[in-house]
Amino acid sequence: MMANGTVGMAMTAASYAYVIERYEARDEARKKYLKEQQLKKLEEKNNNENAEDGVSDDEDNEDDLKVDEAKVDESKQMDFAKVEKRVRTTGGGSTGTVRNLRIREDTAKYLLNLDVNSAHYDPKTRSMREDPLPDMDPNEKFYAGDNQNRVSGQALEFKQLNIHAWEAFDKGHDIHMQAAPSQAELLYKNYTINKEKLKTQTKETIMEKYGNAAAEEQLPRELLLGQSEREVEYDRAGRIIKGQELSLPRSKYEEDVYINNHTTVWGSWWKDHQWGYKCCKQMIRNSYCTGAAGIEAAEAAADLMRANIARKEATEEVPAPTEEKRIATWGTDVPDDLVLDQKLLAEALKKEDERKREERDERKRKYNVKWNDEVTPEDMEAYRMKKIHHDDPMKDFM
């Protein structure tokens, strides 16, 4: 184990020395290349010195002055880039740094409107979301609240990019704005391009199908105003003597085309919520025209139908009123020849009373019970008469 560790450390040191050697060689080559470039520039400058000696000196002086002016401007605004420590502890430790991002010549936001009920100013973040001067002329205002910056320019584009990333993630795409911002931006760009292509394709399809009225030629004046300067002269009979007869406008559909010997078109006749042909009064489309004979035959058939219906209603017998069938007390139809024996009915009532008493007192019930499944009409009537109806108001009295 010690031998292996020693060999590994030796290999690591050797590889490190090799990396350092390569780095130094690369640095030397880079310095050599820079020196060659500087020598070339110096040679070119010496060659051009004879022709433009005075001009170059003036330009160099002007460049130096410009640099000096820039340095002076930066020195005037040193407070803009100054970093101050925020001290909050008694021991003097700093908890963070604060950069002053406001030029001293600018007016503070809270001084634009001293009204207490005006836009709220947050001193911690130095933000004022609403407009402090809403009634002021927009052309004269230089600050209209922080919300104006959030919904304009690149802030709005960034907001739309975030919304697209959220919606894509909800639909199952592996996209995250903070984890892979470049991927999210590329997907949003591709989505925008495809959306514009789809819009253009849909627009072209609609224009190809229905046409583009804006790109068509302008309609003639006689069609727009419904009149023209053409002169036409008629005689007393209404015939044209001079000029050309005015042609009626036609649609793109075929007109005055009659099929199957019809003299009118389909839809020229209406009856009982149905369309038909006026020439033969048929309601079947693409049928052969039968003319006046077909109209007469249809009217005759309708008259015959009405006569048959009236004759049937007249000869129809009125059903005789049926006598109400007498219903037995146990709920079945009573035959006409059914007669209840009163003696047997009295015996059945006595048996029913005994059965009721045995049900109330189970001690009197016998062990050997003989059951008879033959039920007579008198037994059914006795059971019905002794039965207690729960909806009977006198059941408790009995």
pLDDT digits (tens, 9 = 90+) for 79-88: 444 555 555 5
Low-confidence winner among 123-137, 181-195, 246-260, 294-308 (lowest mean pLDDT): 246-260
pLDDT digits (tens, 9 = 90+) for 49-65: 765 655 445 555 445 44
Separation in Å, CA 86 to CA 81, 93, 98, 102: 16, 9, 7, 17
pTM: 0.30
pLDDT above 60 (res 353): yes
| Cα of 288 vs its chain's centroid, Å | 51
Mean pLDDT of 154-160: 89
Strands (DSSP E) found in 253-363: 269-271, 274-276
pLDDT above 90 (res 329): no
pLDDT confidence of residue 315: 84
Q: What are the structure tokens assigned to 32, written together? A: 């050599």
Nearest to 280 by CA among 289, 288, 268: 289
Mean pLDDT of 157-180: 91
pLDDT digits (tens, 9 = 90+) for 25-41: 999 999 999 999 999 98
Amino acid at 285: R
Which tops the pLDDT comparison, 264 or 72? 264
pLDDT above 80 (res 311): yes
pLDDT digits (tens, 9 = 90+) for 235-244: 888 888 888 7
pLDDT confidence of residue 10: 58
Letter string b/e over residues 25-57, b meaning 16 or more CB atoms within 10 A of that residue's CB: eeeeeeeeeeeeeeeeeeeeeeeeeeeeeeeee
